[in-house]
Amino acid sequence: MTQTSTIANNTRELVVQLSRGNGDPARALAGRVHADLDTILNSDADPASSLRLQAQQTMYAIEEVLALINQSDLRGAWQAARDASKEWLAISRD
């Protein structure tokens, strides 16, 4: 299963890339985070586990990031990426 620290690192880097206006690298990072979260959500882990619930919440924010990048709204994507990073931060410390 995907390591939680990898997702945490990628969401932090996503925030940095968006703050610098780097849409293409941000899109690639968001895609990686999305795939990692999807792996967790489709795993055999207990659906009520904190990991699965946190992955689901973070996925909502990452999907918003991707949609906003596609609309060329990098400021909005940056705000959504910050939310995703905050959502994931708690689980990565466990």
Q: Terminal CA-to-CA distance of the chain, rounded, Å?
A: 15
C-beta neighbour count of 86 within 10 angstroms: 13
What average pLDDT does range 4-8 have in this prediction? Answer: 90
| Residue 3: per-residue pLDDT | 82
Average pLDDT over the chain reads 91
pLDDT in tens, 22-40: 999 999 999 999 999 999 9
pTM of the shown model: 0.89
Q: How far is CA 40 from the centre of its chain?
A: 12
- Helices assigned H by DSSP within the chain: 4-19, 23-41, 50-70, 74-92
CATH numbers and ranges of domains, the chain: 4-92 (1.20.120)
